[in-house]
Structure 1
Amino acid sequence: MKKIVVTAKSIEEAIKNGLAQLNVTEDRVTIQVLEQPAKGLFGLIGVKEAKVELELKMDAVDIAEQFLGEVFQTMALQVAIGREQDQDGVLLNLTGQDLGILIGRRGQTLDSLQYLVNIVANRHRDTPTRIVIDAEQFRVRRRRTLEQLADRLAGRVIKYKKEVILEPMSPQERKIIHSYLQNHAVVRTFSKGDEPNRRVVIAMRSQG
């Protein structure tokens, strides 16, 4: 957590200078006054400046990164965490060696890790931040695979005029299939069954 000590002629000026250094607003820091300003002899000699300490408050993503760091340390994994903003929230992309253990079968471990991270990061917040965890671009590759699967199965439905029921998928993966085919001119999708065995069905659209 970043912390700086700033001196100036007044407490207000020290705080202002510290916020400028950190490039944040006052609500993003905790402030502690270390020394009050004092005039010296005759108002000239031995003037003591104000000294304040500004410490950045951790936001949800900072907490998420700290939590992940502790998990990786426990697992003896060397993992770098990259942060980027996307339209849905914040993406934390993990890079390193032997990350298959973090991904799991079809991303199930990654989904569980993402679920835990969001709980830890947002537990004391009125407005939660959506945090997506990816590892070595797994989610990008998995999305491409699912979209290719949707294309292929939609073609089969059109050819044989018979609905296709996919294997059980997570809510995130079902959403990819539904979104990809939602504007398809010939086929439609819906889900059936109960978790964790809920499945996507691809069927012909009603004609007329």
Structure 2
Amino acid sequence: MDKMIFFGKTVEEAVERGLQEMKVTKEKVVIKVLEEPVKGLFGILGSKPAKVELERIVDPIEEGKNFLMNVIEKMGMKVDIEVFHRKEAVYFNLVGDRLGVLIGHHGQTLDALQYLVNAVAGRYAKGKERIILDAENYRAKRKESLEELAERVARKVLKTKESVKLEPMNANERRIIHTHLQNEPHILTVSEGEEPYRSVVIHYKE
């Protein structure tokens, strides 16, 4: 539980009891004193203990990482997760063997895991911090591959003046194609179709 109530003869005792039971340090919780201790008659009759509420401070990035580790372990794999904080996002870089299983065809498994990790972290995040999953530098390699594909197909379209429809891609991959060809004066790119079969079509324009 992320929020629990504890009692003690003093506020300090109640807090310490809570920290021990929740297995956290004082820096990892928000402490709220609900009731101060009251001494009764002769120190016994009518006395009341201190009552405090401890709420665990949840780190969305840590929750996302723990979730991902659990999923990977259930897949029977041993993988380390390197965490890099960048201005645009937080990167989880997967390091280990058989990473192709986690990447999947054209990164589909990696994208699915990334979606789930962001969904878990998003339950605790106050801002809009984004987590990007990568493995074996797959994202950069895939971007380079898509840009090469865009150039190759664009040359064909310029030569034949016939439109070419690419294979279905996710929104991020389509964006890479559009961005890479946006300054070509005689090339027009549009996305057509419905998800998950939406594709980029490269047209010739006068």
Could you tell me the TM-score, scaled by structure 1's length? 0.70
The C-alpha deviation readout for 1:146-193, integer Å capped at 9, x for no partner, is 010001001011111111111111112111111111222221211011
Q: How many angstroms does 1:114 deviate by?
A: 0.5
Measure the CA separation in 1 of the matches of 2:114 and 2:155: 34
Q: Which residue of 2 aligns with 1:186?
A: 186
Q: What 5-or-longer segments of structure 1 have no aligned partner? A: 1-10, 12-25, 34-54
Give the number of aligned pairs.
161
Q: How many angstroms does 1:85 deviate by?
A: 2.7
Q: Which residue of 1 aligns with 2:168?
A: 168
Residue identity (%): 43
Q: Which residue of 1 aligns with 2:135?
A: 135
Q: Which residue of 2 aligns with 1:61?
A: 61
**Cα 1:136–1:179, aligned 2, differ >3 Å: closer, same or farther?**
same
Q: Which residue of 1 aligns with 2:74?
A: 74
Give the match's secondary structure for 1:162.
coil
Q: How many angstroms does 1:127 deviate by?
A: 2.0
Give the match's secondary structure for 2:197.
coil
Q: How many angstroms does 1:125 deviate by?
A: 3.2
Give the match's secondary structure for 2:68.
helix
Give the match's secondary structure for 1:132.
strand
Alignment of 1:67-106 (within 5 A): 67-106=67-106
Measure the CA separation in 2 of the matches of 1:180 and 1:88: 20
- Equivalent residue letter for 1:167: E
Measure the CA separation in 2 of the matches of 1:123 and 1:145: 34
Could you tell me the TM-score, scaled by structure 2's length? 0.71
Alignment of 1:40-51 (within 5 A): none
Q: Which residue of 1 aligns with 2:29?
A: 30
Measure the CA separation in 2 of the matches of 1:65 and 1:101: 18
Measure the CA separation in 2 of the matches of 1:101 and 1:72: 10
- Equivalent residue letter for 1:92: F
Counterpart contact for 2:60–2:123, Cα < 8 Å = no
Q: What 5-or-longer segments of structure 2 have no aligned partner? A: 1-11, 13-25, 33-54
Q: Which residue of 2 aligns with 1:146?
A: 146
Q: Which residue of 2 aligns with 1:201?
A: 201
Q: Which residue of 2 aligns with 1:117?
A: 117
**Cα 1:204–1:86, aligned 2, differ >3 Å: closer, same or farther?**
farther
Displaced runs of 4+ in structure 1, greater than 3 A?
A: 55-58
Q: How many angstroms does 1:31 deviate by?
A: 5.5
The 10-residue stretch of structure 1 (135-144 or 77-86) with the greater mean CA deviation from structure 2: 77-86
- Equivalent residue letter for 2:77: L
RMSD: 2.5
The 10-residue stretch of structure 1 (103-112 or 122-131) with the greater mean CA deviation from structure 2: 122-131
- Equivalent residue letter for 1:192: E
- Equivalent residue letter for 1:115: Y
The C-alpha deviation readout for 1:118-138, integer Å capped at 9, x for no partner, is 001111334231111111111
**Cα 1:31–1:60, aligned 2, differ >3 Å: closer, same or farther?**
closer
